[in-house]
Structure 1
């Protein structure tokens, strides 16, 4: 049986009683790995009757969506990819109107509505702006899945409250839902849905189960017979089979055999092994020379213990896949493969330097400025992951290298979370993916990670470089409940590093706050506050004791009052 995603599509459009058809529709079913990584797109755009160029907008939206979406990164989620494409299209339409004679009347410019359906893995992703609609057909009933962006004043007057091309920015409705084999979706313009009903649509599909184009044509014909005066377009999507693929189509090398243990001064698959650099329970790392180019590389091979674990081998191969999608000076780069590999391994750039863990041992009391420089470089690397919709999830001193020129690079991508692959269920990882000393508290409570989780890890590293300690000791790794989370006690870095400015300690405390929503909302804010005093922090320290530490204030007040009462009692006794 074919285990790939398979759907049937029926489409039909008619200008009806109008001179021109301002609707435009399309669908794309990709081949190869894009069927898994990007899915199938079905989309419908509807022009507005007040514009004589709206059909240009409709056609441009659909054609560009169906092409540009498949050019976005495989690492991106469907939502992020489609939003980026539609926002770019919206900006182009708006610019076209601004450059035309319609610049002062948006209702006559390059404007249209859009409804798009992306089927990926076992999920349907819906995107919507305007008054086209997406339905799900269940038996003899239709469930409307989109909300019309139309304001009705009275029976004669109504207008679109939202459409592509009306402004420089656009708000796009998004909905994601699980799907099952046999599900039927319907995309329709108002010229169709205002003159049809669920029984009519269900009958048309039932009568033409093997020719959904004929079913779509029949629905349009009946809408015309019932008096539709507008353009008419309908698309029918039936889920015939869901993707139940087991091998990972993105990682073809994961099916290769694991290499044997390599020894120095031996040749291996086009490389000359110089020496072993590092080994762990998960992998072995060797310095090698590419015999074709003479380039020094770091060869990483999976541990022999993983040879019988397909999931872990997939994770191992994913490291190179991730590295090839990030281009940043502070992230380890993969080497170009000059020949087809015969074994499972990863060839990465060789960095002459030391890990941050070793650097911290060699520099137990670094200056604040030195720490800032290292943290800023790490943050730039993390931002590259986050822009690609990835989380590193295992940021720790052992996974950071500093070369002889002082350049800092993030290495080891074995725990990276990728939004686009998560939607395909292609990259399963453990709930606590990294070293427990640096993991954010939310992982221990079973919550999903976020860029704020990587920020927590970076904050812990910055704190440790400055103090030699961890901000919560070993408390985080013991978390089992929300109550324990709220009782976590931050150890002020000033207690260890008494020359540190209090506002720097405040920045560290905020970056490693136990609750994600109370951390910095962007890494750039954390980096800024490490260098520039945050006025909120300064104001807090300028305040009196009641504002800074109300509990201590009332304890001291109570003690003074107690002493006053004792004194008064003593005076009364003497008198």
Structure 2
């Protein structure tokens, strides 16, 4: 099989050759497959080549290898396209392993894995300019290196004696399987070879490279390698897959703009006006990055928020991409606490985004109206906000710009996260080498401290932002004032001092202040690792924060502590001076 280049230099293209045979055995328990999708799946998920070798001592080996490969090639491409290759593949492999292990346990001898649904498993995924390798067992993935092959995987075979060995790792043996995973950069001309042990135990790497170089195509090369193994006396099943990289993306690997990429940005209009099937009613917001209109869809009558890019940013490819990404992301999250995109049933003639219109106020406006809110009201808002942010995290996305202006509260009190232009999508970042994962795109007052040290934002960075907003709702302040954006060295961040919420709200439970303190900790390792933990501690006392002691004044308000200490020392000094005046020493 081959997939010749269709547009060299713009897409990742490969040629693939494959051959498999039972050899001298009655049945072939090897199974292999490859999938080369079209865009946008090509850029978002990449090209997958997979090989499995069912354990020969089991009659279920063939079923195990076939199930592992077929389930992977179907399920991998069904995972959210926001997920990274590693996350997508590992979840699919884990599910396949669980099913195989369950079938083994239902077998005639569930204790004897040699008679179960057990198979080796190797997958090579090529995405953008990176190869992702997943491996368990003793099949191998190689890369052509000059006149020989470089072995990229390590055999998981345990040698007991010259006559006895067993697989130390394979799918279906246990309920959980450990998969080797690593990545490497790829370039045009790189050639990868996948082989089962029936091949590489009988054909030298040099001979395999020679066969690849001399064959008229990769399918013929794969057949030649298998025939060489048979001629050398192989008695096992034999499978070879060869993958040659014909072109790699020149820049961006995935066309996120889809069919609107070549469209001109929508003009700035003065409502009321009709535009591209919408009636613009009034301007909702006008800023340096965009202008947002309240509009009516003339076809459905639905009210929408139609956003157009500002004039200053229209020629900036990065800004255009972030602009369109907002709607792309919204269409991939279905959560009541995340603003939804408006259904689009007709072709657009200009570049713009359309989201559902929600009547309400931002969290900034809510805080102006509620200077001293009840703790329960704050809990309710934070819990809803957390549910929206968790919807991003489940899809391997980091919002990166969580702030009060990007939190909307509708008339019924429902919280929705809005504005996804800065959102980092794992599956997109690894597919576009031009993206800087450490670039600070959010508002600095709510950006986690580690980002100012050059660390890429993570889900923990969003936890920090949610914690800051929870603190701000309760106190009207920021937990570190304006110090975080200026703390751009590890030493400066160690000097950051949390100002206890009890300073402003002395009747606040100590354990609530403890939860806030942990949520906004400068060290991400000491911060909550998941928003669900923060929400739990915000509502129910955590024993770690309820040890019977109230937080010291030094921790709650260092400035007040030192002022009181200075005042006390001053009073002591004056008292001693008075005593010395009244009773001078003799």
Alignment partners' CA distance in 2, 1:26 and 1:338: 36
The answer to whether residue 103 in structure 2 is matched with residue 96 in structure 1 is yes
Farther off after superposition, 420-429 or 437-446? 420-429
Report the equivalent of 2:517.
509
Q: How many residues align?
A: 559
Q: 2:409 aligns with which of 402, 405, 411?
A: 402
1:460 aligns with 2:468: yes
Could you tell me which of 110, 128, 132 is aligned with 1:125? 132
Q: Is the deviation greater in 488-497 or in 219-228?
A: 219-228
Cα-to-partner distance string for 1:66-113 (whole Å, 9 max, x where unaligned): 222122221111111111211111122122223332434322111111
Matches within 5 A, 1:463-502: 463-502=471-510
Deviation readout 1:370-393 (Å, 9 max, x if unpaired)? 111111001000110001111100
Matching residue of 2:388: 381
Confirm whether residue 79 of structure 1 aligns to residue 86 of structure 2.
Answer: yes
Q: Could you give the per-residue CA deviations for residues 357-382 of structure 1, whole angstroms, max 9, x where no partner exists?
A: 00001111111111111110010001
Contact 1:132-1:190 at 8 Å conserved across structures: yes
- Relative to structure 2, which stretch is displaced further, 73-82 or 152-161? 152-161
The within-5 A match list for 1:432-471 is 432-471=440-479
Q: What secondary structure is seen at the aligned counterpart in 2 of 1:470?
A: coil
Deviation at 1:225, TM superposition (A): 2.2
Which residue pairs with 1:46 in the alignment?
Answer: 53
On the 8 A contact 2:43/2:254 being kept in 1, the answer is no
Residues 401-453 of structure 1, C-alpha deviations (whole Å, 9 max, x = no match): 00010000000001000011111118836711110000011211111111000
What corresponds to 1:238 in structure 2? 244
CA contact (8 A) 2:297 2:303 kept: yes
Paired with 1:478 and 1:94, the residues of 2 have a C-alpha distance of 53
Match for residue 390 of structure 1?
397
Cα distance, 1:41–1:255 mapped onto 2, change above 3 Å:
same
TM-score w.r.t. the length of structure 2 is 0.91
Change (3 A) 1:165 1:247: closer
Structure 1 length as normaliser, TM-score?
Answer: 0.92
Question: Which structure 2 residues correspond to residues 309-388 of structure 1 after superposition, within 5 A?
Answer: 309-388=316-395
Aligned partner (choices 210, 219, 226) of residue 213 of structure 1:
219
Shift of 1:477: 0.7
Q: Is 1:70 aligned with 2:83?
A: no
Return the offset for 1:352.
0.8
Aligned match for 1:160, one of 167, 172, 177: 167
The answer to which of 3-12 and 322-331 deviates more is 3-12
Measured in 1, the distance between the counterparts of 2:179 and 2:85 equals 13
Give the alignment's Cα RMSD to 1 decimal.
2.7
CA distance in 2 between counterparts of 1:74 and 1:112 reads: 28
Q: What's the CA shift for 1:248? A: 5.5
- CA separation of 1:364/1:271 partners in 2, compared to 1, >3 Å: closer, same or farther? same
Question: Match of 1:182?
Answer: 189
Report matched runs for 1:266-305 at 5 Å. 266-305=273-312
Aligned to 2:4: none
Structure 1 residue ranges (4+ consecutive) displaced by more than 3 angstroms after TM superposition: 245-248, 426-430, 540-545
Structure 2 SS opposite 1:112: coil
Render the CA deviation track for 1:98-152: whole Å, top value 9, x for unaligned: 3332434322111111001000100000001111111122012322211222222
Give the match for residue 224 of structure 1.
Answer: 230
Q: Which runs of 5+ in 1 are unaligned?
A: none
CA distance in 1, matches of 2:131, 2:548: 48
Once the two structures are superposed, what CA deviation does each residue of 1:484-535 show, in whole Å capped at 9, x if it has no partner?
1211111111122111111111111111111111111111111100011111
Q: Match for residue 108 of structure 1?
A: 115
Give unmatched runs, 5+ long, in structure 2. Answer: 1-6
